[in-house]
Amino acid sequence: MTVAHIREQTQGDAVEVMFLESARFYRLLKSKPDFSALLERLRAARQKGEPVEIAIASPGSDLIGDVKS
């Protein structure tokens, strides 16, 4: 999926991520142990315009479980 926008709010428990291929908003929880690394992968992919593979925490969920470049 191609990252369209990352909405980083100073308050809140998650970062919202929008992808070109989906009208849905996905969330990356700040409480994830690997939050910083996953966010950096998303930022790099957005900057380069390269697609990433995301894993969703559970079927039908909007929570990002993993990001692979």
List pLDDT tens digits, range 4-63.
999 998 889 999 999 999 999 999 999 999 999 999 999 999 999 999 999 998 898 999
Q: What pTM was computed for the model? A: 0.93
Q: How many residues are there in the chain?
A: 69
| Paired tokens of 61 | 């969920």
In single-letter form, the type of residue at position 32 comes to K
pLDDT of residue 31: 96
Give the span between the Cα atoms of 61 and 46, in whole angstroms.
22
pLDDT of residue 52: 98
pLDDT of residue 47: 97
pLDDT of residue 10: 81
pLDDT of residue 15: 97
Cβ-contact 38, 48 below 8 angstroms: no
